[in-house]
């Protein structure tokens, strides 16, 4: 029998062999405290589990639920995994108490974009973390399989798993399949819907709304959902082959449940914990693959949060901002995917899955193949076992002939971002840069709503080389740092119609579906009096991706910068300590976010201390 870590003070999960040896027969059950045991007995009987195991280590299944197509397939997958786990516990005589599934609450980014409700999206990541933390610790869970959907619940779930640090594995619910415009036959999706929001024809808008998102599943392009599922799988916390299949793919119900249980068994038997898997090396791997796939700017927020939960500072322990930019410059983009390309994640699956891209990057020497994964194998061993085909172009491209020559993301610094961290998605830029430089005129809006109203009521007022500035929408300002998919999509459509470039910068963030010359996470945010709060209409804004800089010409003048800062402080003091352009809040969680949020560069989550 393996030694019991609890007997010598060591932390870690019990081995599966010890679990098997400790199994009790139903006749051997004795209660030391009927008051505590009576509900354990009742629950076990209701679930059809062995009453004799009510004091054995607890395993469970969790899922994400919310008002969106993203979550429609979750309960079915949770039920399939629960049934497979129950059968495995019986057939292998595991000394495991299997408890009922539990669910967290998520919101729909797609349905809420452009509305006040979008402020709750990033907050949802924090509340999922807390609810999973409650579940794991109150129920002393020793093994978990988590089914996750949309893009904030997976990150919150993984953060809680890392903090708890008992064996666990994640399953992404899967992507939605693309829609089809019945009039043109063209593929359409949720981003198409936002890009048609400004179309003057009600019939066209309605046709797109009725056909863009058929079925179930999370957004199908290389938006934030697939960015983070790619990140989590390459990180080692989800098997690689489980990312690309659609939400309604039969493998998710027929094959993946047993494979996930194999992972949980392997981790438990080998004493592997999530923090053994999530290391600086695996975090670099995950960032490398997401950049090489043109992933969402949100990975800059979420990778910081995941690293924090694993005990690391991303920028100190994993890679610096300059190293991040060097990596992005060095990496090509290997996939032709929405929003900057044509295809969706289901097409990646048809060409062999995420493992094709990982293998290509491994062979190019761009990944650390020795990183441990939830299968019990290293990343290289997992890819070798899966044996994916080589990329042939069109959907997945080889490193030697990439879809785009340089990586997807860039972190900017300058007098508008003195600490850096402002993020630009290079893969999504459609024009406006001359020799890597954009110069524009500032047009300032003190909320997302102000910009949407201007785009709806007077779109012709926007001109070539405008630099739209949206502020007071940061982690504390909004609060909640909403995504700005609605206005960026309208601006994209306007630019394409008129063949112009309108850039945008903000202390908020962007959906993975946003394209164009858009810069988010500008900090310090306007709510805190950062430089973005001092920009005035007509100021000259320069973006230089050669030097990774963003600057306001007028703020280079010390006297002018000081005058504007003093005026901002005076207005704030006269308004009771909050600038009058900041939107008041009364919601409990919004108030909490406003008073406790960390900066974007630190993940924009709520402080825990």
Q: Which residues are known to be catalytic?
A: 511
Whether 291 and 227 have beta carbons less than 8 Å apart is answered as no
Q: Which two tokens stand for residue 479?
A: 């609060």
Neighbours of 380 (CB within 10 A): 18
187: which 2 tokens? 């593929």
d(CA 51, CA 497) in angstroms, rounded, equals: 67
d(CA 596, CA 598): 7
Beta strands in 69-185 (DSSP E): 97-98, 102-105, 141-148, 168-172, 179-180
Instruction: Report how far residue 341's alpha carbon sits from residue 348's, in angstroms, rounded to the nearest whole number.
Output: 13
Q: HEC states along 46-63? A: HHCCCHHHCCCCEEEEEE
List of long-range contacts for 567-570, beta carbons under 8 Å, 24+ apart = 568/529, 568/533, 568/534, 569/529
Number of helices (H), then strands (E), belonging to the chain: the values are 23, 15
Q: Which two tokens stand for residue 322?
A: 């300059």
Q: Which runs of consecutive H residues, i.e. helices, occur in 458-511?
A: 485-498
Whole-angstrom Cα distance, residue 224 to residue 606?
20
Point out which residues pair with 550 in neighbouring strands: 543
Query: Which run of H or E residues covers position 153?
Result: helix 152-164
Per DSSP, the three-state class of 502 is strand
Query: In this structure, how many other beta carbons lie within 10 angstroms of the beta carbon of residue 48?
Result: 9
Count other C-beta atoms under 10 Å from residue 441's C-beta: 15
Q: Are the CB atoms for 92 and 20 separated by under 8 Å?
A: yes
Cα–Cα dist 366/405, whole Å: 15
Extract the tokens encoding 228.
């983070």
What Rg do the C-alpha atoms of the chain give, in angstroms?
25
What Cα–Cα distance (Å) separates residue 602 from each residue in 127, 142, 315, 396, 476? 17, 30, 9, 33, 13
Strands 168-172 and 179-180: unpaired
Q: Which residues of 249-282 are buried (b: 16+ CB within 10 A; e: fewer)?
A: beebbeebbebbbbbbbbbbbebbbbbbbbbbbb
């Amino acid at each position: 029998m393996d030694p019991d870590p609890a007997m010598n003070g060591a932390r870690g999960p019990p081995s599966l062999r010890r679990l098997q040896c400790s199994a009790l027969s139903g006749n051997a059950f004795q209660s030391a405290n009927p008051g505590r045991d009576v509900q354990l007995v009742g629950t076990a009987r209701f679930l059809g589990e062995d009453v004799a195991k009510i004091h054995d280590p607890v395993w469970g299944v969790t899922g994400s639920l919310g008002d969106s197509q993203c979550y429609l397939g979750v309960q079915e997958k949770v039920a399939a995994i629960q049934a497979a786990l129950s059968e495995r516990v019986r057939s292998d005589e595991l000394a495991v108490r299997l408890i009922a599934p539990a669910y967290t609450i998520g919101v729909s980014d797609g349905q809420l974009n452009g509305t006040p409700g979008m402020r709750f999206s990033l907050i949802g990541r924090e509340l999922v973390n807390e609810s999973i933390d409650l579940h794991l610790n109150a129920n002393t869970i020793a093994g978990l399989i988590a089914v996750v959907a949309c893009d904030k619940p997976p990150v919150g779930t993984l953060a809680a798993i890392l903090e708890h640090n008992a064996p666990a594995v994640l399953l992404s619910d899967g992507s939605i399949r693309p829609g089809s415009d019945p009039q043109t036959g063209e593929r359409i999706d949720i981003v198409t819907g936002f890009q048609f929001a400004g179309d003057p024809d009600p019939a066209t808008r309605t046709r797109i709304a009725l056909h863009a998102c058929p079925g179930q599943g999370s957004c199908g392009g290389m938006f934030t959902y697939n960015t983070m599922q790619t990140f989590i799988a390459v990180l080692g916390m989800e098997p690689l082959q489980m990312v690309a299949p659609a939400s309604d793919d039969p493998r998710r119900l027929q094959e993946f449940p047993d494979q996930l249980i194999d992972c949980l068994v392997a981790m438990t038997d080998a004493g592997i914990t999530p923090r053994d898997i999530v290391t600086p090396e695996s975090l670099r791997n995950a960032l490398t693959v997401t950049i090489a796939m043109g992933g969402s700017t949100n990975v800059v927020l979420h990778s910081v949060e995941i690293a924090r939960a694993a005990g690391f500072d991303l920028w100190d322990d994993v890679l610096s901002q300059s190293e991040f930019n060097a990596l992005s410059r060095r990496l090509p983009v290997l996939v032709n995917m929405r929003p900057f390309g044509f295809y969706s994640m289901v097409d990646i699956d048809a060409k062999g899955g995420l493992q094709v891209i990982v293998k290509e990057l491994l062979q190019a020497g761009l990944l650390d193949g020795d990183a441990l994964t939830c299968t019990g194998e290293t990343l290289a061993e997992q890819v070798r076992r899966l044996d994916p085909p080589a990329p042939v172009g069109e959907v997945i491209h080889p490193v030697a002939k990439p879809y785009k020559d340089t990586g997807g993301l860039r972190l900017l610094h300058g007098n508008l971002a003195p600490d850096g961290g402002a993020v630009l998605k290079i893969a999504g830029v459609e024009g406006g840069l001359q020799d890597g430089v954009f110069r524009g005129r500032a047009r300032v809006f003190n909320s997302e709503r102000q910009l949407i109203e201007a785009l709806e009521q007077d779109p012709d007022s926007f001109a070539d080389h405008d630099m739209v500035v949206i502020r007071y929408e940061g982690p504390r300002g909004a609060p909640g740092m909403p995504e700005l998919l609605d206005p960026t999509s309208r601006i994209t459509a306007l630019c394409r119609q008129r063949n112009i470039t309108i850039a945008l910068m903000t202390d908020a963030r962007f959906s993975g579906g946003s394209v164009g010359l858009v810069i988010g996470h500008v900090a310090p945010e306007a709510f805190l009096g950062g430089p973005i709060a001092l920009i005035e209409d007509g100021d000259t804004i320069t973006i230089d991706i050669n030097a990774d800089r963003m600057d306001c010409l007028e703020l280079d003048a010390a006297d002018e910068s000081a005058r504007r800062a003093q005026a901002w402080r005076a207005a704030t003091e006269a308004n009771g300590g909050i600038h009058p352009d900041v939107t008041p809040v009364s919601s409990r969680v919004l108030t909490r976010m406003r008073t406790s949020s960390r900066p974007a560069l630190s993940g924009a989550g709520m402080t825990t201390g």
